[in-house]
Structure 1
Amino acid sequence: MALPTFTQRYEAGDAWLANSCAHPTLVQDVWAADMLAPIPSGEEWLVAEARLATGYPKLVRIRAEQRGPVLADPVMDALWWLVPLGAAEELADVRQLVVQAAGWCLNCPPTGWQVEGRMWITRPDGSGLLTDPAVLAAAFGPGGYRLATEASR
């Protein structure tokens, strides 16, 4: 079986992201106009927010297969993880993260390119994979989440 092309992955990610909204066609229309689409959280996922400067070093400590979509905005110094519903309680003690309430809108570019400087560091791929809050909390913890290669040192 052939692996999906980049275009197929972007299209699957865009469809998944747009379908997280009550009006997926409007999301697609906004993207076609090369604008950010406001997609409310709370139906499929929540948003955990951190500063880009402090969050990016934590991001790279989480293995790719454990990382759901992650959106970055360098101008705003912001990084957003898409996390499962119910993650707010598990991440409540992580001071560097703020889990936005359900209904909070995340202004998203399409998965294939950046808009207004905002880009996906880890793109939605259509699979529905979200970042496990336990792994995210561990990455921000005092010892940090340890990659398998780091743990063997």
Structure 2
Amino acid sequence: MAHPMSTAQRYEAGDVWLADCHTHPELVWKAWHAGTLAEIESGAHWLIAESTVTQGLPATVRIRDEQRGPVLMDPYANAAWWLVPLDAAEELADVRQLHIRHAGWTLRCPPTGREVERRQWLWDPDGTGHLTHPAVLAAAFAPGGHRRPTEASA
């Protein structure tokens, strides 16, 4: 039986993936080693669907664990940033609680497992490139939201 990945290994894999999303990964590592947020542009690997924390947190409980992609939050700014696939804009265009950021928009992010400048990952990047599918995200924000199988049968 394979041993599950340790928390440190998961954080390292997530950090490597995030850094590799930048055209110059060394700049990401430099920012993190200095204790600051790294600026990573969207559009090459993912887009950003932005919501408020107050609208995003209820949606998070409607998404099953295996469907969760990275979500960055700044509770003090009441902002949440969902990393979604590059083709998500059209499918999420009608979800009024989400603002889709255009390719080239800069996400200022901490490394996984650490809070920097009041920002932290609610769901860390896991290193695989797994993102939240737009249909799942849209359903989670819909009235009544996505229901987990156990909720649907209750």
Query: Is the structural similarity TM-score above 0.5?
Result: yes
Where structure 1 has 5 or more consecutive residues not aligned to the other structure, the ranges are none
User: What percent identity do the matched residue pairs reach?
Assistant: 61
Cross-structure match for 1:2: 3
Cross-structure match for 1:52: 53
Pairing 1:37–2:38 present: yes
Where do residues 84-95 of structure 1 align in structure 2 (5 Å cutoff)? Answer: 84-95=85-96
Cross-structure match for 1:74: 75
Cross-structure match for 1:118: 119
How many angstroms does 1:150 deviate by? 1.0
How many angstroms does 1:3 deviate by? 1.5
- Give distance in 2, aligned partners of 1:29 and 1:143: 43
Per-residue CA shift, 1:56-107, capped at 9, x if unaligned? Answer: 1101110111010000001110011100001000000000001100000000
- Give distance in 1, aligned partners of 2:144 and 2:76: 29
Report runs of 4+ in structure 1 exceeding 2 Å deviation. Answer: none
Cross-structure match for 1:13: 14
Per-residue CA shift, 1:108-148, capped at 9, x if unaligned? Answer: 00002110110000000101100000000001112211111
Aligned with 2:56: secondary structure?
helix
Cross-structure match for 1:65: 66
- Give distance in 1, aligned partners of 2:8 and 2:109: 18
- Give distance in 1, aligned partners of 2:113 and 2:52: 23
How many angstroms does 1:2 deviate by? 1.6
How many angstroms does 1:24 deviate by? 0.4
- Give distance in 2, aligned partners of 1:40 and 1:86: 16
Cross-structure match for 1:97: 98
Task: Give the TM-score normalised by the residue count of structure 2.
Answer: 0.97
Letter in 1 for 2:16: A
Structure 1 stretch 3-12 or stretch 89-98: which is displaced more? 3-12
Aligned with 2:45: secondary structure?
coil
Task: Give the TM-score normalised by the residue count of structure 1.
Answer: 0.98
- Give distance in 2, aligned partners of 1:138 and 1:112: 28
